[in-house]
């Protein structure tokens, strides 16, 4: 234990909220052993890079950052460089790290985060490098500590892994098959969080809609059941979740939006493409028509629901006509916001082997048109907010202006407004004075 006491660590996180939450766990475990966090790798005894393998861009940034650690090791031979996360679940990446970046001391994966302190102690105690990767693990390790990034909101994993095998995606290979936590463990964790001042939880999973947790009474609970249980937790004010697959979005969950006052009127519903041909080649298991029907049902049940999405441009074989269908779907839905991506080959996925890859210049041209369409929709929807009074959870000081506070509406819209810093962490009424393309401006009432 004492081997780690007083060491300064720095975590660099790439990728999604699952990774951010894993980094919170790593941080919590290190603090439990007497380590202190520092926000500069130059000032640290231990650096951990938590990697993401969803996009090619994240790979490049990872190797660039890893290269910078060499000089820290040269300056201080006791310095420990660690890499973990999704990229480390791929053998070709591990081989590259071992052969080209010999200053790395510890490699671990997504299934054995709980083992990290022991690996670190071995490196300090036995002066040897450690690489430990679990292929998959049926077990969920409960009760790990976590050092939260935010005081008033928290991420809570409800399930791990994915069974869907979308043909462009590496996640089922790096995060393994679906495993759901028990509802009791989730509720217990959220009760502890609310006792600690948390007002908003975001339930995390690659596809929360296929949650199936075994209760202590032998019964299985689906995601809507879980929402109803969490809605009863005293002190909690907001529930969000990320991410849901359209093929598994049930009527029961839509009804939960109506019944559960704490479930925020917001859904991230990744569509990926508007053409049935492309959706089928992506192995998404829904059609454009089915998706639009879901949007219609959601808006009928919850008229002011905000909807965001993910869209991939330039998937192999995407024709101009396919792309036009994506544009028309974007215009029809009129998303509140969308994450748009250029398709990039992920080694080990079926789509990487497709021969009809789209030339980069076509992808970029389509991408620009898509962004314009998304932004037009967001600006129109945000303009409708002018004059409305929104409940806003004040999250902190704006990164752009230290005299401005920033927060989120129930519909996950970012709002900037002037106010006292004492408001941070509170849910307050804000009148919206302007709707911009990416955010809202308002004044405190
Ligand atoms: S649902 Fe598809 S895109 Fe999402 S994590 Fe699973 S395989 Fe990847």
List, for residues 235-289, the tens digit of each pLDDT value.
Answer: 999 999 999 999 999 999 999 999 999 999 999 999 999 999 999 999 999 999 9
Going from N- to C-terminal start, the domains of the chain cover 8-132, 153-383, 389-444
Task: Indicate which residue's Cα is closest to atom 8 of ligand 1.
Answer: 169
Across the range 171-198, mean pLDDT stands at: 94
Please give the order of strands across the beta sheet that includes 337-342. 266-268, 306-313, 337-342
Please give the order of strands across the beta sheet that includes 80-85. 36-37, 8-13, 46-51, 80-85, 106-108, 130-132
Strand-pair category, 427-435 with 389-397 = antiparallel
- Which of these, 143, 144, 155, 207, lies nearest to 178 by C-alpha position? 207
List, for residues 18-64, the tens digit of each pLDDT value.
Answer: 899 999 999 999 999 999 999 898 999 999 999 988 877 778 889 99
Ligand 1 centroid, distance to 171 Cα (angstroms): 6
- CB environment 166-186: b (16+ within 10 A), e (fewer): bbbbbbbbbbbebbbbbbebb
Start-to-end CA distance of the chain, whole Å, equals 51
Ligand 1 in reach of 396 Cβ (< 6 A): no
Q: Is 115 exposed, middle or buried (0-12, 13-18, 19+ CB in 10 A)?
A: middle
Across the range 108-117, mean pLDDT stands at: 92
Fold of 389-444: OB fold (Dihydrolipoamide Acetyltransferase, E2P) (2.40.50)
Across the range 59-88, mean pLDDT stands at: 92
Contact 227, 254 (CB under 8 A): no
For residue 165, which atom of ligand 1 is closest to its CA? 7
More confident residue, 148 or 382: 382
Structure tokens at 47: 């650096």
84 labelled ligand-binding: no
More confident residue, 149 or 253: 253
Ligand 1 in reach of 165 Cβ (< 6 A): yes
Query: At the top level of CATH, which class does the domain 8-132 belong to?
Result: alpha beta
Lowest mean pLDDT segment, chosen from 17-26, 131-140, 150-159, 252-261: 131-140
Ligand 1 centroid, distance to 46 Cα (angstroms): 32
CATH number of the 153-383 domain: 3.80.30.20
List, for residues 378-424, the tens digit of each pLDDT value.
Answer: 999 999 999 999 999 999 998 888 889 999 999 999 999 999 999 99
264 labelled ligand-binding: no
Ligand 1 centroid, distance to 57 Cα (angstroms): 18
Ligand 1 in reach of 172 Cβ (< 6 A): yes
Structure tokens at 334: 């009129």
In the prediction, which pLDDT does 1 show? 52
Ligand 1 in reach of 206 Cβ (< 6 A): yes
In the prediction, which pLDDT does 23 show? 94
Instruction: Give, for ligand 1, the residue of 164, 173, 282, 348 to mutate: max count of ligand atoms closer than 8 Å to Cβ.
Output: 164
Looking up tokens 């007002």 gives 199
Asked if domains 153-383 and 389-444 share a fold, the reply is: no
3-state secondary structure the chain: CCCCCCCEEEEEECCCHHHHHHHHHHHHHHHHCCCEECCCHHHCCEEEEEECCCCHHHHHHHHHHHHHHHHHHHHCCCCEEEEEEHHHHCHHHHHHHHHHCCCCCEEECCCCHHHHHHHHHHHHHHCCCEEECCCCCCCCCCCCCCCCCCCCEEEEECEECCCCCCCCCCHHHHHCCCEECCHHHHHHHHHHHHHCCCCEEEEECCCHHHCEEECCCCCEEEHHHHHHHHHCCCCCCEEEEECCCHHHCCHHHHHHHHHCCCECCEEECCCECCCHHHHHHCCCCCCHHHHHHHHHHHHHHCCCCEEEEEEEECCCCCCHHHHHHHHHHHHHHCCCEEEEEECCCCCCCHHHHCCCCCCHHHHHHHHHHHHHHHHHHHHHHHHCCCCCEEEEEEEEECCCCCCCEEEEECCCCEEEECCCHHHCCCEEEEEEEEECCCCEEEEEC
List, for residues 286-343, the tens digit of each pLDDT value.
Answer: 999 999 999 999 999 999 999 999 999 999 999 999 999 999 999 999 999 999 999 9
Ligand 1 centroid, distance to 235 Cα (angstroms): 33
In the prediction, which pLDDT does 281 show? 97
For residue 170, which atom of ligand 1 is closest to its CA? 8
The average confidence (pLDDT) of the chain is 94
- CB environment 410-425: b (16+ within 10 A), e (fewer): bbbbbbbbebeeebbb
């Amino acid at each position: 234990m004492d081997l780690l006491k007083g060491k300064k660590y720095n975590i660099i996180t790439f990728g999604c909220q699952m990774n951010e939450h894993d980094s919170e766990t790593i941080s919590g475990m290190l603090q439990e052993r007497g380590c202190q966090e520092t926000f500069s790798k130059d000032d640290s005894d231990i650096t951990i890079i938590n990697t993401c393998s969803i996009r090619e861009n994240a790979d490049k940034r990872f190797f660039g950052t890893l290269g910078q650690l060499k000089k820290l090791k040269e300056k201080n031979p006791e310095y420990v460089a660690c890499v973990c996360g999704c990229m480390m679940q791929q053998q070709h990446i591990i081989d590259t790290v071992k052969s080209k970046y010999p200053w790395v001391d510890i490699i671990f994966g997504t299934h054995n985060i709980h083992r990290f302190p022991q690996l670190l102690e071995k490196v300090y105690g036995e002066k040897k490098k450690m690489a430990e990767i679990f292929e998959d693990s049926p077990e969920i390790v409960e009760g790990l500590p976590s050092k939260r990034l935010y005081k008033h909101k928290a991420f809570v994993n409800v399930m791990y892994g994915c069974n869907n095998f979308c043909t462009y995606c590496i996640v089922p290979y790096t995060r393994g098959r679906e495993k759901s936590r028990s509802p009791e463990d989730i509720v217990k964790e959220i009760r502890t969080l609310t006792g600690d001042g948390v007002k908003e939880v975001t339930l995390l999973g690659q596809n929360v809609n296929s949650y199936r947790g075994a209760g202590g009474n032998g019964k299985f609970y689906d995601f809507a059941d879980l929402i109803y249980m969490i809605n009863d937790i005293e002190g909690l004010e907001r529930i969000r979740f990320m991410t849901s697959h359209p093929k598994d979005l049930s009527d029961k969950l839509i009804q939960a939006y109506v019944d559960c006052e704490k479930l925020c009127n917001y859904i991230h519903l990744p569509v990926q493409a508007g053409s049935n041909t492309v959706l089928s080649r992506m192995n998404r298991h829904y059609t454009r028509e089915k998706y639009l029907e879901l949007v219609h049902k959601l808006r009928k049940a919850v008229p002011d629901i905000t909807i965001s999405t993910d869209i991939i441009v330039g998937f192999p074989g995407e024709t101009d006509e396919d792309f036009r269908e994506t544009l028309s779907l974007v215009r029809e839905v009129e998303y509140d916001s969308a994450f748009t991506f250029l398709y990039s080959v992920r080694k080990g996925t079926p789509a990487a082997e497709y021969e009809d890859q789209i030339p980069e210049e076509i992808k970029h041209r389509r991408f620009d048109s898509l962004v314009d369409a998304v932004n037009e929709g967001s600006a129109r929807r945000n303009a409708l907010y002018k004059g409305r009074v929104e409940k806003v959870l004040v999250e902190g000081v704006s990164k752009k202006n230290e005299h401005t506070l920033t927060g989120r509406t129930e519909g996950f819209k970012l709002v900037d407004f002037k106010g006292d810093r004492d408001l941070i962490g509170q849910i307050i009424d804000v009148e919206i004075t302007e709707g911009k393309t990416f955010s809202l401006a308002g004044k405190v009432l």
